[in-house]
């Protein structure tokens, strides 16, 4: 759960850096770049520790909650269970997890920043090399002003159609990191997203924190989600995003075996915490640079702020000269 006043990101980070545990986020970041730790990625395991919490919100918003650990404070609104921040640090990165935030260089500074505010990563350097094997991708490398938009935790019967309409309006191709059980429940939306030209990435079956799972369990989480996504009509995913950005050597290994590229993000306005539409827009506009991978959510709860923010920042980014590519 969240501990009031405690920046989830810190929790997550500490956990990830715990000595003796797998790869450290800092190492990863060194390679990747900077980002924010939060978002889907950062949510900690939640209150209950690490287990994924599968909450199915009545309104169609199903949200398994699991891992986005450190970041999903339960504060912003009714969160989903599980998305809370792990105050105890248990969830998040505990064991051997490798967190992903690109915090590149800025691990210290950026994250350490003000609590609550999204941190961003330093500007993406268009010369950054693609991630080395065993590391997630924090940036796209498609040239000047190329950025990517990723939409996580859906599909949602209520919000995914709204997001699709906006993307169509601006002719933008995005990447939807879907949770397998939501894809199974809303198969027609999987087909709709795919048919519209968007990429569908695997985001586990139930948004579990994979960082401490065995290879067999990680494989099962990913395979089950792949099955739901392909049955829904999308092609076999080639991208995988770990809930909460909680990576581990095991997760990287399974991704390699399954032909999946690990995908992280570099700009996280923590929209899932419902910080206010203005805050989401300002964070995105203030932290997006060439190469940025922006994280937003269409699933997991009330995403009306996210939709409102997309409606504002997409045209602003286009006006600023950016164009959207897929990782």
Least CB distance to Zn ion at residue 68 (A): 5
Please report, as residue ranges, which positions from 54 to 73 form the binding site for Zn ion (by CB under 5 A): 68
Residue 92 near residue 45 (C-beta atoms within 8 A): yes
Window of 102-110, 146-154, 218-226, 305-313 that interacts with Zn ion by CB under 5 A: 146-154
**DSSP β-ladder status, 261-262 and 146-152:** unpaired
Window of 96-104, 151-159, 216-224, 264-272 that interacts with Zn ion by CB under 5 A: 151-159
Window of 70-78, 215-223, 240-248, 318-326 that interacts with Zn ion by CB under 5 A: 240-248
Least CB distance to Zn ion at residue 109 (A): 25
Least CB distance to Zn ion at residue 297 (A): 7
Least CB distance to Zn ion at residue 152 (A): 4
Instruction: Report if residue 153 touches Zn ion, rule: CB under 5 A.
Output: yes
Window of 33-41, 91-99, 142-150, 286-294 that interacts with Zn ion by CB under 5 A: 33-41
Give the integer Cα–Cα distance in Å for 138 and 140.
Answer: 7
Least CB distance to Zn ion at residue 193 (A): 16
| Residue least distant from Zn ion (Cβ) | 40
Of 175 and 290, the one with the shorter C-beta distance to Zn ion is 175
Contacts of 103 (CB under 8 A, 6+ apart): 25, 26, 29, 32, 33, 34, 35, 36, 37, 110, 111, 119, 121
Instruction: Report if residue 209 touches Zn ion, rule: CB under 5 A.
Output: no
Of 68 and 192, the one with the shorter C-beta distance to Zn ion is 68
Window of 99-107, 242-250, 264-272, 306-314 that interacts with Zn ion by CB under 5 A: 242-250
Of 7 and 296, the one with the shorter C-beta distance to Zn ion is 296
CA dist list (Å): 299 to 249, 271, 304, 310: 27, 11, 10, 14
Of 13 and 141, the one with the shorter C-beta distance to Zn ion is 13
The number of beta carbons lying within 10 Å of the beta carbon of residue 297 is 27
Size of the site for Zn ion (CB under 5 A): 5
Least CB distance to Zn ion at residue 105 (A): 25
Least CB distance to Zn ion at residue 266 (A): 16
Among residues 152, 209, 264, 302, the one that binds Zn ion under rule CB under 5 A: 152
Is 153 one of the annotated active-site residues of the chain?
no
Name the catalytic one among 83, 297, 298, 302: 297
Please report, as residue ranges, which positions from 243 to 302 form the binding site for Zn ion (by CB under 5 A): 243
**String marking each residue 306-325 x if it binds Zn ion according to CB under 5 A:** --------------------
Instruction: Report if residue 40 touches Zn ion, rule: CB under 5 A.
Output: yes
Name the catalytic one among 7, 152, 209, 268: 152
Is 271 one of the annotated active-site residues of the chain?
no
* Contacts to Zn ion by CB under 5 A: 40, 68, 152-153, 243
Task: Provide the annotated active-site residues.
Answer: 152, 297
């Amino acid at each position: 759960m969240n501990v009031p006043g405690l920046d989830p990101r810190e929790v997550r980070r500490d956990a990830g850096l715990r000595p003796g545990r797998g790869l450290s986020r800092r190492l990863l970041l060194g390679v990747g770049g900077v980002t924010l730790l939060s978002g889907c990625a950062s949510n900690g395991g939640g209150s209950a520790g690490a287990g994924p919490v599968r909450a199915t919100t009545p309104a169609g918003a199903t949200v398994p909650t699991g891992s986005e650990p450190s970041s999903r404070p339960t504060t912003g609104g009714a969160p989903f269970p599980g998305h809370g921040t792990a105050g105890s640090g248990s969830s998040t990165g505990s064991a051997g997890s490798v967190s992903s935030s690109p915090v590149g260089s800025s691990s210290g500074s950026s994250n350490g920043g003000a609590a609550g505010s999204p941190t961003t990563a330093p500007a993406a350097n268009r010369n950054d090399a693609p991630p080395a094997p065993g590391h997630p991708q924090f940036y796209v490398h498609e040239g000047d002003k190329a950025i990517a938009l990723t939409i996580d935790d859906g599909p949602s019967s209520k919000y995914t159609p709204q997001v699709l309409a906006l993307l169509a309006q601006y002719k933008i191709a995005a990447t939807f990191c879907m949770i397998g059980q939501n894809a199974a429940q809303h198969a027609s939306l999987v087909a709709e997203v795919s048919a519209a030209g968007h990429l569908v990435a695997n985001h586990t079956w139930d948004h579990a924190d994979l960082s401490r799972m065995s290879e067999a369990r990680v494989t099962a989480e990913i395979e089950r989600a792949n099955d739901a996504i392909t049955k829904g009509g999308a092609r076999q995913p080639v991208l995988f995003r770990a809930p909460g950005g909680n990576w581990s050597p095991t997760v990287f290994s399974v991704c390699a075996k399954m032909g999946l590229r690990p995908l992280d993000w570099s700009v996280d306005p923590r929209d899932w915490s419902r910080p206010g539409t203005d805050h989401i827009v300002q964070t995105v506009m203030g932290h997006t640079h060439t190469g940025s991978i922006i994280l937003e959510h269409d699933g997991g709860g009330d995403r009306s702020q996210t939709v409102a923010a997309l409606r504002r920042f997409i045209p602003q980014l286009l006006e600023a000269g950016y164009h959207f590519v897929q990782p």
